Structure 1
Amino acid sequence: MPYPAGRHFLQIPGPTNVPDRVLRAISAPTIDHRGPDFARLTHDLLDNLKSIFRTTGPVVIYPSSGTGAWEAALVNTLSPGDRVLAFETGHFATLWRELATNLGLQVDFVLGDWRHGVDPDVVAERLGKDTGHAVRAVCVVHNETSTGVTSRVADVRAAIDRTGHPALLLVDTVSSLGSIDYRHDEWGVDVTVSCSQKGLMLPPGLGFNALSEKAVRAGATATLPRSYWDWQPILTANQRGFFPYTPPTNLLYGLRESMLLLAEEGLERVFERHTRHAAATRAAVRAWGLEVLCLDEREHSAALTAVLLPAEHDADKVREIILDRYDVSLGTGLGRLAGRVFRIGHLGALNDVSLAGTLAGVHMGLKLAGVPIDPGGIDAALRVLSGS
C-alpha cells in the first residue's frame, strides 16, 4: 500500500484487538499495590474471574504469558519423574510437551495429525491400561490455536471417569477462555491454564490458573522446584487483597474493564457471537473452494479458522500480499503447517462488519496471489451473518 489509510485489521488469533474502553482503563494512574484501594481491586477481580472460568474455586493471576501459566500448572501439581499423558493436537500441544520434558517429567505423547482434537476413546484406552496409576496428569489443549481445532473436554473428563483413574486433568484455554464455552467445575478440570491477550481482549502480560480442590491438595506433596510460580504464597496474600510480588497494576485495571464488557454482553451471547463468526468464516472458505484444516464437525473452533491452501501455493506469500495490499494481518502456519495454512482470527472485540471486511480482504488477496477461488465466498459468509 502506498499509504495505509484507515485502521489496521489485526486478525491473527491473538494478541487480539484491545477495545478503547480497556485501553483507557489501562492508562489510569498507578496506585499503591499495598494500599486499601488495591486490595478492593484484587478482591473484585478474583471474584469476577470465577464467573469467566465457571468455577467456585480459586483463580491465581501471574504477571506472565500463557507459557508461564503452563509451567505453574505442572510445577504445583507434579514431582520429578512423574508420568503425564498428552496429545499431539498441534503446535502448542507440542510446546507444552517440551516444557514438561524440560522439567523432568515423563511424557506419554499420543501422536496426531493436527486436524483432530483429543480422542476421548484413546484417553480411556490409555488410562484403562495404566492399572498402577503411574500417569499423574492428563494434559489437553482445549482450543489448539495453530489448527483451529477444539477438543471436547467434557468428553475427555467422562472418559477419565469411566476408567476410575485418579489422574489430574490440566487444560489449556489460552485461546478459548472468553470466546468458547468452557466450564472448569462442571467438566471436572483440575487446573485451567489461560492468559490475557485472546478472548479477554487485553495486551499480553497476565497468566491464569484456575484450581480445583484436588489440584490444591496435589500441591502439598508435589516436589518439582517452584518459587515464583508457587500457588500457596499467592493464595495466602490474595486473602488480604495483595500479591507476594509486584503486580501489573495497570493490566489489572484493564482486566476489570474487559470483564465488565463481557458481563454487559453476557457470556452466552459472547459465545453465540463467536460461533456465528466462525460459521460465516467457514462458509466463505468452503465457497471459495478451499479447505478448512479441522476435519471433525464437532471440533471446529469458534475462535479461529485455519485455511489449508493447495500444495502449489505458499500460504505465507499469500499472507504477505494480504498484509501489504490490504493491511490485514493473518496468522501464519506454525510447526509442520508452516507455509501450508493461514489462520483467520475471529475472537475478542469483533463485530459482523469487521469480520465481513476481513473476509473481503482475504478474498481480494487470494485473487491477487493467483489462488483460484470461486467468487461466491463473501456472499456465503454474508448469508450466515444476515441470517442470524
Structure 2
Amino acid sequence: MTNPVFIPGPTNIPERIRKACDMPTLDHRSTAFKEILPPALAGVKRILKTETGEAVIFPGSGTGGWEAAISNCLSPGDKVLASDFGMFSRKWIDMCNRHGLDLQVVTAPWGQGLPVDDFATILAADTTHEIKAVLATHNETATGVRSDIAALRAAMDAAGHPALLLVDGVSSIASMDFRMDEWGVDVAVTGSQKGFMLPAGLAIVGISQKAISAMETAKLPRFYFDFRDMLAMNPSAGYPYTPSVGLLNGLKTAIDMLEAEGLENVFARHAYIAEGVRAAVRAWHLPICAASPDLYSDTVTAIVVPNGIDGNALVAHAETRYDTSFGAGLGDVAGKVFRIGHLGVLTEVQALAGIATAEMAMADMGIGVTPGAGTAAAQTYFCKNG
C-alpha cells in the first residue's frame, strides 16, 4: 500500500483522473481528438477566469510554460522587472538571463512576498517605458508565500505602465483564487501536476490579447513553444506536433471534477485544510517561513526547524522510516525548513495522517514537539470548522 504524498506537487492523483489518463492509443489527427482538446482548452480558460484570453497546452512542465511566456513576448535585450524572493522566482530570473534579457531584480527576504511597493516606485519612475515585462510568482512554493497579484496590477495601472504582466501560477492555479482578466494578467503559467491533480507532463498557459499582439513583434527564438503554431491549429483540434493525448483526456476530467465541486468550494477547501496544518504547526511551537498570515499559501506550508536540525535530513528520515514524502527545503532555505504540501484532493483524514507522521519523524530527530499536539490542534480546528 502506498501512502499519500505531502509534497507541493506532483500531487496525489484521484482514481478517476488516473483512469482517464490510462487510455489506448488514439490518433490525434482523428475526429476522436475533437472530443478531448477543445473541451480541455475551454475548461482551462474557465479555471483561469478569462473570457478574453486564449489557452494553449504544451507537452512539458511549468518551467516550459515560463520559457513560452518570455520567448513569445520579448526580444533580446528587453528590460524585465522581477524579484528574487524564493527558489522559483529565482529560477525564472535565471532563465531570463540565459535568454539575453536585461533584468532589473529587486531582492526580498525569503519568506516575504513580491515587493509590490518597490515595483510601484520603479514602474512610476520608468516614464519612457523601458520595462517591457513584469514577472511575478503568485505562489512561491519554496517558502509557502502567496503574493498579491491584484495589488501589483493596481500599481502598474497607477503608474500608467504598459508592460506585460507575466505570472507564474504553477502552484496556485486550480487551488487558490486566480483571476486572469480581472488582474490584467497577460500570460498565466501553470502545470498539470499541481491543482489539476494530474501527473507532470503538461505546461498550461493562458494568453491575453495584449500578449498575442506582442508575440507578432517579439524576436526571441521559439519553435517548440511558439504560441502562433498552437493558436493556428488548436481551433480545429489540431496540434503542431504529437500531443500528450492521455494527459489531455485526464485534464478534461480534472476540469469536470473541479467544476462539479465548484471553484469557490475548491478554494475554500484548500484554505480549510491549510489552516488545519497551520494549527498543527502552531501547536508544535515552530515558526512558519511565511513572514505574516496575509502571505500564507493555501497549497504548501514551509516550517522552520530548530537550530541544529537539518530539515532535509528530517524529510529523508520520514521517507525511509515511514514511507511518507514531505517537501525538502530548497535554495536559501535548504536544511532550514521542511514543507507540507496540502493541495489537490487532500482530505482532512489524509492531512491528519501527514501531521501525525511529521510528529513522529520530528520526535525521532530530537525536535521537542509534544506527541499528538499538532494532530490534536488540527482535529480541533477541523471539528469546529468543517
- TM-score for the superposition, normalised by structure 2: 0.97
Mapped to 2, the partners of 1:320 and 1:98 lie a distance apart of 28
Mapped to 2, the partners of 1:213 and 1:248 lie a distance apart of 26
Contact 2:108–2:115 (Cα < 8 Å) also in 1: no
The secondary structure found in structure 1 opposite 2:135 is strand
The secondary structure found in structure 2 opposite 1:387 is helix
**How many residues are matched?**
383
Residue 386 of structure 1: which of 380, 383, 386 is its match?
383
Aligned match of 1:324? 320
Contact 1:79–1:224 (Cα < 8 Å) also in 2: yes
2:190 corresponds to 1:194: yes
Residue 279 of structure 1: which of 266, 275, 281 is its match?
275
Mapped to 2, the partners of 1:325 and 1:385 lie a distance apart of 28
Deviation string 1:330-356 (CA, Å, 9 cap, x unpaired) is 011001111111010000111110001
Q: Where do 1:54-203 residues align within 5 Å?
A: 54-56=49-51, 57-203=53-199
Deviation at 1:383, TM superposition (A): 1.4
Aligned match of 2:4? 9
Mapped to 1, the partners of 2:39 and 2:312 lie a distance apart of 43
2:242 corresponds to 1:241: no
Deviation at 1:257, TM superposition (A): 1.2
Aligned match of 1:53? 48
Residue 29 of structure 1: which of 21, 24, 49 is its match?
24
Aligned match of 1:227? 223
Deviation string 1:211-262 (CA, Å, 9 cap, x unpaired) is 1111111111111111111111110101111111111111111111111111
Deviation at 1:35, TM superposition (A): 1.0
Deviation at 1:371, TM superposition (A): 0.3
Mapped to 2, the partners of 1:287 and 1:160 lie a distance apart of 40
- The one-letter code sitting in structure 1 at the alignment partner of 2:375 is I
Mapped to 2, the partners of 1:368 and 1:264 lie a distance apart of 42
Deviation at 1:380, TM superposition (A): 1.2
Mapped to 1, the partners of 2:291 and 2:380 lie a distance apart of 23
Deviation at 1:363, TM superposition (A): 0.9
Mapped to 2, the partners of 1:338 and 1:297 lie a distance apart of 22
Aligned match of 2:347? 351
Contact 1:89–1:141 (Cα < 8 Å) also in 2: no
Aligned match of 2:366? 370
Mapped to 2, the partners of 1:252 and 1:28 lie a distance apart of 11
Deviation string 1:87-122 (CA, Å, 9 cap, x unpaired) is 112001000000000001011111011111112211
The secondary structure found in structure 1 opposite 2:19 is helix
- Which sections of structure 2, spanning at least 5 residues, go unmatched? none
Aligned match of 1:39? 34
Deviation at 1:321, TM superposition (A): 2.0
Deviation at 1:62, TM superposition (A): 0.2
- The one-letter code sitting in structure 2 at the alignment partner of 1:173 is G
Q: Where do 1:300-315 residues align within 5 Å?
A: 300-315=296-311
Mapped to 1, the partners of 2:138 and 2:128 lie a distance apart of 27
- The one-letter code sitting in structure 2 at the alignment partner of 1:26 is C
Mapped to 1, the partners of 2:44 and 2:310 lie a distance apart of 41
- The one-letter code sitting in structure 1 at the alignment partner of 2:268 is E
Mapped to 1, the partners of 2:351 and 2:59 lie a distance apart of 31
Runs of 4+ with >2 A deviation: none
- The one-letter code sitting in structure 2 at the alignment partner of 1:15 is P
Mapped to 2, the partners of 1:90 and 1:61 lie a distance apart of 26
Mapped to 1, the partners of 2:177 and 2:213 lie a distance apart of 27
Mapped to 1, the partners of 2:374 and 2:65 lie a distance apart of 39
The secondary structure found in structure 1 opposite 2:5 is strand
Aligned match of 1:290? 286
Mapped to 1, the partners of 2:3 and 2:375 lie a distance apart of 20
Contact 1:289–1:374 (Cα < 8 Å) also in 2: no
When the two chains are superposed, the root-mean-square deviation of aligned CA atoms in Å is 1.0
The secondary structure found in structure 2 opposite 1:55 is coil
Mapped to 1, the partners of 2:357 and 2:215 lie a distance apart of 49
Mapped to 2, the partners of 1:319 and 1:208 lie a distance apart of 30
Residue 20 of structure 1: which of 2, 15, 19 is its match?
15
> Percent of aligned positions with the same letter in both sequences?
45
Deviation at 1:39, TM superposition (A): 2.0
- Which sections of structure 1, spanning at least 5 residues, go unmatched? 1-5
Aligned match of 1:3? none
Deviation at 1:320, TM superposition (A): 2.0
Mapped to 1, the partners of 2:330 and 2:313 lie a distance apart of 14
Residue 203 of structure 2: which of 200, 203, 207 is its match?
207
